[in-house]
């Protein structure tokens, strides 16, 4: 297994040591709607363990992105709390939340959001440089991750010179560049044809298994969801397994 994947912090643990990477604890989220309120999450509970991929499948508007925003500490819940790696985020200040988001959580979206002026290698180096790693070390780790994604022949390509599936694999490599404990993916294969989407998922799955990451993966693709460890959905603002 590649060194790029063996960060002490994310090694899978067993037995009593195995603590959830992410917990949602009675999370509530309400939006204003006219003079009333629209309740999207009404006490959502969830635990995802290291090395586990969980599919979130629910109809449009059910609150999937809201769950990811809460889990990713992008917004604060109106009730309940979010725990990342054993720390409750509710009592933390914005700076501490930003640090957790940057170092412990990776995000992948439907559109890759790669920086167009930079090569695949530089895109994967970027989060590491922002973290303060030196260029040489960042380049070494970026090259390892891209090789893991079977993109060793594409490291000097810019995003416009890559296929959709290749762009998403670079985006995944970038999302895990800082060895996060949690990967949040919002329809990362939603834009790809079925074959490419399976190929991208395979790369992601291998990465999760090898690194002990925990992944929450929003998808509309039931066939893909069937390949994940667990499937969850939203019913009346609560998370249920199916």
Ligand X SMILES: Nc1ncnc2c1ncn2[C@@H]1O[C@H](COP(=O)(O)OP(=O)(O)OP(=O)(O)O)[C@@H](O)[C@H]1O
Residues making contact with ligand X (CB under 6 A): 31, 38, 40, 58, 60-66
Q: How far is the CB of 58 from ligand X (least distance, A)?
A: 6
Q: Which two tokens stand for residue 233?
A: 């959905």
Q: How far is the CB of 37 from ligand X (least distance, A)?
A: 10
Between 59 and 194, CB nearer to ligand X: 59
Residues in Cβ contact with 141 at an 8 Å cutoff, skipping those fewer than 6 apart: 3, 4, 124, 128, 133, 177
User: ∠72-115-57 over CA atoms, to 5°?
Assistant: 35
185: closest CA among 118, 41, 197?
197
Q: Which two tokens stand for residue 30?
A: 């309400």
Q: How far is the CB of 35 from ligand X (least distance, A)?
A: 14
Q: How far is the CB of 190 from ligand X (least distance, A)?
A: 10
Q: How far is the CB of 236 from ligand X (least distance, A)?
A: 13
**CA-CA distance, 143 to 149, in Å (whole number)?**
10
Asked if residues 141 and 177 have their Cβ atoms less than 8 Å apart, the reply is yes
What would you report as the CA-atom Rg of the chain, rounded to the nearest whole angstrom?
18
Block residue for tokens 């891209």? 146
């Amino acid at each position: 297994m590649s060194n790029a994947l063996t960060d002490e912090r994310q090694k899978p643990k067993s037995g009593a040591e195995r603590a959830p990477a992410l917990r949602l604890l009675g999370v509530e989220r309400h939006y204003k709607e006219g003079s009333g309120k629209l309740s999207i999450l009404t006490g959502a509970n969830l635990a995802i363990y290291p090395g586990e991929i969980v599919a979130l499948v629910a109809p449009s508007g059910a609150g999937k992105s809201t769950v990811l925003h809460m889990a990713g500490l992008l917004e604060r819940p109106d009730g309940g709390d979010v725990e990342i790696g054993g720390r409750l985020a509710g009592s933390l200040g914005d700076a501490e939340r930003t640090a957790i988001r940057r170092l412990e959580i990776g995000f992948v979206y439907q559109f890759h959001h790669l920086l167009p002026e930079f090569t695949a290698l530089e895109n994967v180096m970027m989060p590491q440089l922002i973290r303060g790693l030196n260029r040489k070390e960042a380049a070494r780790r970026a090259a390892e991750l891209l090789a893991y994604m079977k993109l060793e022949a594409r490291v000097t390509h810019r995003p416009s010179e890559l296929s959709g599936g290749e762009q998403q694999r670079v985006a995944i490599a970038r999302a895990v560049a800082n060895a996060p404990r949690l990967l949040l993916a919002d329809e990362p294969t939603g834009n790809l044809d079925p074959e490419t989407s399976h190929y991208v998922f395979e790369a992601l799955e291998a990465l999760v298994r090898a690194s002990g990451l925990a992944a929450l993966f929003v998808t509309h693709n039931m066939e893909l969801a069937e390949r994940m460890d667990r499937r969850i959905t939203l019913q009346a603002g609560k998370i249920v397994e199916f």
